Amino acid sequence: MDWYTGLYVSDDLKEKKDKIIDKIEHGAGTPGVYLITLPSNEKNLLDILSADQLLWPVMHRLCPVIVGMTHSYDEATEMAAAMILDAHKEVGAFRVEPYLRNRLRPDEDFAIHYPIRKRKPLWRMPFQRKRNV
């Protein structure tokens, strides 16, 4: 998955930011965490989804760049609205990606890529054979 370099994080998650990102990348559950992503289609300005939706490998693979992380859906809508209004003030249009690119230094990458890491099975039934990998 790709994470925006200047990730927007709500105040209550700033201390736990790296731990939550690591949990999401390892496929562990993170209840109550909502992510703001770049739009998945042309009709949307931004997308908001629960971090638990990324437990599905398909969602994990298809997820656009994550630009924000909050602790509740209401905070996510407020943060997304603020981002859109700031983008309109600076760029003159409701286009968030150019606004986010302008916020970074020229030498900074737009997004950091974390590859999905498969979790090892925690247990095996007695009748299951150990696979040679």
pLDDT at 60 over 80: no
> Which percentage of the chain shows pLDDT scores above 90?
47
Percent of the chain whose pLDDT exceeds 70: 85
Number of domains in the chain: 1
Residue 89's pLDDT is 94
Distance separating alpha carbons of residues 66 and 90, to the nearest angstrom: 21
Which residues span the domain enclosing 33? 2-113
Beta-carbon contacts of 49 under 8 Å, excluding residues fewer than 6 positions away, are 34, 35, 37, 59, 63
Read off the pLDDT of residues 119-129 as tens digits, 9 standing for 90 and up: 555 555 566 66
Residue in the block written with tokens 């696979």: 131
Listed range (38-47, 62-71, 103-112) with the worst mean pLDDT? 103-112
Quick check: is 118 in a domain? no
- Residue-wise pLDDT for 80-94, tens only, equals 999 999 999 998 989
Query: Tell me, what DSSP letter sits at residue 105?
Result: -
